[in-house]
Structure 1
Amino acid sequence: MKGMLKKALAVAICAGVLAGCASEEDTVIMAPVPSVDNEFTPKKVWSTSVGDGVEHYYSKLTPAYGYGKIFAASRDGVVKALDPETGALLWEQDLEQDVPARLAGGITTGYSQIFIGSENGQVLALNEETGEVNWRVDVDGEVLSAPATDSNLVIVSTDKGILLALNQEDGSQKWAISTEVPNLTLRGSSAPVAFSGGVFWGTANGRLAAAVAEHGQLIWQQPIGSPQGATEIDRLVDVDASPLVLGGALYIIGFNGQLTAIDLRSGKPVWKRKYSSATDLASDGSRLFVVTDKDHLVAFDARSGTELWSNDKLEHRLLTAPKMVNEYLVVGDSEGYLYWIDRISGEFVSKQEVDSSGFAVPPLVVPGGYVVTTRDGDVKKLTINE
């Protein structure tokens, strides 16, 4: 099998879906924690917690910064607004009702509100100042990624292949676009990105789609991966990464697909490279950074697609998406380490052990430092002490 994601999916199917499925020997070997001579040691500014975090569940429940506050949430429905300088609690809201909240889609800020989705097929809007729930609506499918905001709309992608737009004032539906969903897909969905009047998102059938944000008119679809192989697992082509807009181009990568640069004006590919990933991209403005399905870190020239460097020292460590922090490339792993990588050379410059529960999402850059959230719900602000 090709990579940890496929392996994890196959094991999950055996354990959770096919009762009586024969056990399978685990052949995936996690690379040991690399030895790093730290060039700096990050310093903790404050620490707090939010519920029980996301625990061991799949999650892209990423915190957000906006309106001078840090917003963080737990899968069980606790949402907090925190002072970014001190970590002091500004307000707290518990969204759990008769059933577990199962929050999953990362937090998005806009229109003096914060928006968040759930595995229960709900989208919620909270007042950013008080935490009061302004509206809560049911949608068709699980919301596993962060919404986008544009044209007074909240745009949400669901696991049933539906992109829909909700009125930001009351949550009423304005339009919906449906795309095909194969019988077997990866757990996750692409977070839509709104830019210059358009909305862009990845689909479970291996495409990048574009639509007019205001009206929901589909403009184009570009294939990022084509199903190949004898089994359904081999033929997975999900585009779960969020599109990245940089200059006049849009960048996207798919699982069993390709890293692709697309011209925003024409919607046509500029270049393609054969790499596989289900995590978001990062960029420093001239380079693209990818975590592959084998947890290799790879850097590319954004204009040409030329590979600049590759680092395989974190293979199968279940890395988060990459993030740029203070000119360094940063990723977290399943054992709670943060790794700081030189964006020019790809070499490690620092390693930080934060929490043994591990990371599901990358750090959040905020004024005066960065915030990490661990799987068990710890929220910490740190700063680099170089």
Structure 2
Amino acid sequence: MNKLLRRALISAVVVGALAGCASEEDTVVMAPVPTVTNQFTPEKLWTTSIADGVGRYFSKLKPAYAYDKVFVASRSGLVKALNPEDGKTVWQRDLEQDVPARLSGGITPGYNKIFIGSENGQVVALDAESGEVSWTTNVEGEVLAAPTTDSNLVIVNTSRGMLVALDQATGQQKWTISTEVPNLTLRGDSQPVAAGGGVFWGTANGRLAAAVVDKGQLIWQQPIGSPKGATEIDRLVDVDATPLVMGPILYITGYNGQLTAIDLRSGKPAWKRQYSSANDLATDGSRIFVVTQNDHLAAVDARSGTEIWTNDKLENRLLTAPTIIDGYLVVGDSEGFLHWLERDTGEFVSQQLVDDSGFAVAPIEVDGGYVLVTRDGEVKKLTIHK
């Protein structure tokens, strides 16, 4: 089996048995855990749980911090608002009724609500203060990416190539845009991002698309990757990353594509560099941090795209998207390790085994520390004492 497809399948946690058709020579080898001399050891402030988490499913239910609460959810449909100081439950809501909820896209706060999508093609709005369901709307396709909010709209990207805008108060559909979906795609979708009256999102056919938020009018599409190769597997070019907007420049990367900086005024590339990834990007304002499809970490200059450093010590460890916490670059892996790196050099500064169920999403920074959620639903707040 082609190495890239197998990695895509493993990353999406689709069907482990498919790996059995790979030849011994073509087996993906996970790098051993690097030996790190810890410069700090985080202190655990509290721990709780959110049912069984997402298990081995694809669902990337990243926690959210808003309205003085930490919001977490499980794939089975349990949603909780937690007090960030002590982890106690402020409210909880179970969205599983006659059928499994299969939550997968979210959590997005906005308009004093939180919004979550599901593999069942539903978008649910919950009141942020009480947890009461404000509305539920069906859309065409699975909602694997978190919605975005802008201009009193909730904008959702679905697995069928539909960008759908819903009224934030009622869930009523306001407009929809359709893009082409190839026969074979990765398991994932790009979260839309709204900025300057426009909305930007990656598509499964290797493009970054832009539309007018108010009218749902498509403005332009910019290729991030071009299909190459003889088979559909080789020609995968999904743009599943969330666009990253910094001032007048948008940054995006794609699978079998390129890390691209795009001028938002013209829609034209400012520069392109050969980094292939389906993960979201991170930035500290001057540098862009990327986890490649082989789980190499790289830092590039945001203005020029010049590579500053690269670290290949976590190859094929199925890393989360990178994030920045307390000034450090952080990634989690499939074996439950958190890896901390210096932003200037890419050198490891600390490492912890948190939970052997692993991570589907990166931690989030909150007042007084950071919150992480493991695949089996453990929720923890930790802090760093330097």
Question: Structure 1-normalised TM-score?
Answer: 0.96
Q: Cα distance, 1:61 vs. partner?
A: 0.8
Q: Tell me the alpha carbon deviations over residues 145-202 of structure 1, each in whole angstroms, 9 at most, x when there is no partner.
A: 1100001000000000000000011100000000000000000000000112111000
Quick one: distance in 1 between partners of 2:20 and 2:142? Answer: 29
Q: How does 1:1-386 map to 2 (within 5 A)?
A: 1-3=2-4, 5-6=7-8, 8=10, 15=17, 23-25=21-23, 27-386=27-386
**Partner of 1:134: helix, strand, or coil?**
strand
Quick one: distance in 2 between partners of 1:348 and 1:323? Answer: 15
Quick one: distance in 2 between partners of 1:22 and 1:304? Answer: 43
Quick one: distance in 2 between partners of 1:367 and 1:10? Answer: 31
Instruction: Work out whether residues 166 and 174 of structure 2, in 8 Å CA contact, stay in contact via their aligned partners in 1.
Output: yes
**Partner of 2:21: helix, strand, or coil?**
coil
Aligned length: 382
Quick one: distance in 2 between partners of 1:265 and 1:369? Answer: 37
Instruction: Work out whether residues 260 and 269 of structure 1, in 8 Å CA contact, stay in contact via their aligned partners in 2.
Output: yes
Quick one: distance in 2 between partners of 1:245 and 1:308? Answer: 20
Instruction: Work out whether residues 12 and 57 of structure 2, in 8 Å CA contact, stay in contact via their aligned partners in 1.
Output: no
Q: Tell me the alpha carbon deviations over residues 44-63 of structure 1, each in whole angstroms, 9 at most, x when there is no partner.
A: 01100001100000121111
Give unmatched runs, 5+ long, in structure 1: none
Q: Tell me the alpha carbon deviations over residues 351-373 of structure 1, each in whole angstroms, 9 at most, x when there is no partner.
A: 01100100000011111111000
Amino acid at match of 1:229: G
Quick one: distance in 2 between partners of 1:12 and 1:132? Answer: 33
Quick one: distance in 2 between partners of 1:9 and 1:231? Answer: 20
Instruction: Work out whether residues 288 and 299 of structure 2, in 8 Å CA contact, stay in contact via their aligned partners in 1.
Output: yes
Amino acid at match of 1:25: S
Quick one: distance in 1 between partners of 2:144 and 2:329? Answer: 25
Quick one: distance in 1 between partners of 2:67 and 2:107? Answer: 13
Quick one: distance in 1 between partners of 2:308 and 2:38? Answer: 23
Question: 4+ runs of 1 displaced by more than 6 Å?
Answer: none
Q: Cα distance, 1:248 vs. partner?
A: 1.5
Amino acid at match of 2:7: L
Amino acid at match of 1:51: A
Instruction: Work out whether residues 11 and 24 of structure 1, in 8 Å CA contact, stay in contact via their aligned partners in 2.
Output: no
Quick one: distance in 2 between partners of 1:349 and 1:77? Answer: 37
**In 2 relative to 1, CA 6–95 (structure 1 residues): closer, same or farther, beyond 3 Å?**
closer
Quick one: distance in 1 between partners of 2:249 and 2:38? Answer: 36
Quick one: distance in 2 between partners of 1:30 and 1:281? Answer: 22
Q: Cα distance, 1:5 vs. partner?
A: 2.6
Q: Cα distance, 1:106 vs. partner?
A: 1.6
Instruction: Work out whether residues 357 and 374 of structure 1, in 8 Å CA contact, stay in contact via their aligned partners in 2.
Output: yes
Give unmatched runs, 5+ long, in structure 2: none
**Partner of 2:7: helix, strand, or coil?**
helix
Q: CA RMSD in A?
A: 1.6
**In 2 relative to 1, CA 268–335 (structure 1 residues): closer, same or farther, beyond 3 Å?**
same
Identity %: 69
Quick one: distance in 2 between partners of 1:6 and 1:72? Answer: 26
248-257 or 58-67, larger mean C-alpha shift: 58-67
Quick one: distance in 2 between partners of 1:206 and 1:273? Answer: 15
**In 2 relative to 1, CA 22–354 (structure 1 residues): closer, same or farther, beyond 3 Å?**
closer
Instruction: Work out whether residues 263 and 270 of structure 1, in 8 Å CA contact, stay in contact via their aligned partners in 2.
Output: yes
Amino acid at match of 1:231: T
